[in-house]
Chain A
Amino acid sequence: MRVELDEPKCVAAGQCVMASPEVFDQRDDDGVAILLEEQPADELLDGVREAVAICPAAAIRLVDQ
């Protein structure tokens, strides 16, 4: 599974960092999300799925590949 982050859509609410701190971080100056792991290990996928579900900008996708 691959994570896609649509950065221009990001509203920097930080929800992804709360749901999945291993996969997401935020830029210090404006809070915009940073993708740390494009292909996270299986045990991290539940957190990523939660991030997808709660992102207020619908800016995260988890795609099969």
Chain B
Amino acid sequence: MAETLAGAASDAAEAMPEFPMPRAAGCPFAPPPAVEELREQNPISKVRIWDGSTPWIVTGHALQRALLTDPRVSANDKSPGSFPFVTAYRREIAKYTPELIVNTDAPEHTRLRRMVNAPFIIKRIEAMRAPIQKIVDGLIDDMLAGPNPADLLTALALPVPSLVISELLGVPYADHEFFQENSSLALDRAAAPEDSRAASTALSTYLDDLLGKKLTDPGDDVLSEMAGRVEAGEMSRSEAVHMGVAMLIAGHETTATMISLGTLVLLENPEQLALVRDSGDPKVVAGAVEELLRYLSIVQVGLRRVATEDIEIGGQVIRAGDGLIMDVHAANWDPETFPGADQVDVTRPARQHNAFGYGPHQCLGQSLARLELQVVYGTLYRRVPTLRLAARVEDLAFDHSGTTYGVASLPVTW
């Protein structure tokens, strides 16, 4: 009996699926079929990751929400046990990373998060609508005046978040190539660890230098605001620099990808595009933003956590120290929460998606991202109604190795 059990256990270990899993050829927007299979069979099960460890993978929407708000589930990668790091480089730097909003739990997390919330409160974000509209209109003017076809990524998708986050943080836009390149390298799972390290160091040095300038010559921006908190002794200089780097990185590729891939999805679904383009109602555009966030769920490595106590949930017992991967794409395609989840439907109530995460660590910049996407989706297709793809979808270079999914370029014509 014991033998049989041991045999069964080792069979199970051999059969344990590797994560992350590949997407199916010809289905650039769907979660990997193996992940969907896991959700159908058992929305909380185990996978094997790069370091040989076997964390739980949570693929059901309701289970994910329950665990992401469970105080026994920790984002602290220094917690005892097998925190499921995304890469070897991430595991290495965890030891040297100060306490930040991304790697702490309450009450420390609460203190840190409340220190950086101010620039992202709804009324301050909403006040950026007109300036962002101006940026988007200017970039579309330039695109229309330039060569046709154009690459939507370089013409619009990348410059919008770059300009916005530069203005918000108080980083000179002239340096955008430097920080675009380094943000991308720092997050690429395929990059050599030494390249990722060099990129992160370059960004930290740059931000530290800029913070120094803001201490003596403050402007009306977030970095100056943080410099003020450093001076007041509320925040250490290292915390401020790490937060600045995190905001710079987090605000870039993510929004750019939602602009490029969101446009691609709409171009591939003309009836949906028409709904967004022909409606003068900002609520319709806002609804389309939520649906595209749900449908694309671009964070493709999942949210990583570790259990600090035993947790009984979904017919399983998660032991203290077990790693957890929350696959947000799988959860956002859970048909129990989103009927017909594999279809993009901009009129669906999609607001309960986990694309920005859920629980205390839900994305700090989500309101800014929403605003940028609302302005872009609400403007681009209306101003360029003949917009269409200037390449075959199967020839596009999708990025499978980044923390977030993406496309290297998006040739469009009009």
Q: Is A1 an interface residue when CB atoms closer than 8 A count as contact?
A: no
The answer for the CA separation of A56 and B360 in the assembled complex, in Å, is 7
Q: Is A54 an interface residue when CB atoms closer than 8 A count as contact?
A: yes
B122→A11 contact, CB < 8 A: no
B338 CB to nearest A CB, Å: 14
A53 CB to nearest B CB, Å: 6
B69, B113, B121, B352: the one within 8 Å of A53 (CB):
B352
Q: Is B392 an interface residue when CB atoms closer than 8 A count as contact?
A: no
A31→B359 contact, CB < 8 A: no
Q: Is A28 an interface residue when CB atoms closer than 8 A count as contact?
A: yes
Chain B's closest residue to A31 (CB) is B117
- The number of chain B residues with a CB under 8 A from chain A is 21
- The number of chain A residues with a CB under 8 A from chain B is 20
A47 CB to nearest B CB, Å: 12
Q: Is B120 an interface residue when CB atoms closer than 8 A count as contact?
A: yes
B62 CB to nearest A CB, Å: 12
Q: Is A50 an interface residue when CB atoms closer than 8 A count as contact?
A: yes
Interface hits, A9-65 → B, CB 8 Å: 11-14, 17-18, 21, 26-32, 50, 53-54, 56-58
Chain B's closest residue to A16 (CB) is B122
A45 CB to nearest B CB, Å: 17
A14, A21, A50: the one within 8 Å of B120 (CB):
A14
A12→B117 contact, CB < 8 A: yes
Q: Is B8 an interface residue when CB atoms closer than 8 A count as contact?
A: no
The answer for the CA separation of A21 and B358 in the assembled complex, in Å, is 21
A13→B69 contact, CB < 8 A: no
The answer for the CA separation of A14 and B358 in the assembled complex, in Å, is 13
Q: Is B236 an interface residue when CB atoms closer than 8 A count as contact?
A: no
Contacts of A57 in B (CB 8 A): 69, 359-360
A13→B114 contact, CB < 8 A: no
The answer for the CA separation of A21 and B362 in the assembled complex, in Å, is 20
B69, B125, B367: the one within 8 Å of A58 (CB):
B69
Interface hits, B340-390 → A, CB 8 Å: 351-352, 357-360, 362, 366-367
- Per-position contact with A for B131-168: 1 when CB-CB < 8 Å, else 0? 00000000000000000000000000000000000000
Assuming A12-B114, A13-B366, what are 7 further A-B pairs, CB within 8 angstroms? A14-B367, A17-B122, A21-B122, A29-B118, A30-B114, A32-B114, A57-B69
Which B positions have Cβ atoms within 8 angstroms of A?
69, 110, 113-115, 117-118, 120-123, 125, 351-352, 357-360, 362, 366-367
Interface pairs (8), CB distance under 8 Å: A12-B113, A12-B121, A14-B367, A17-B123, A21-B122, A27-B121, A32-B117, A54-B352
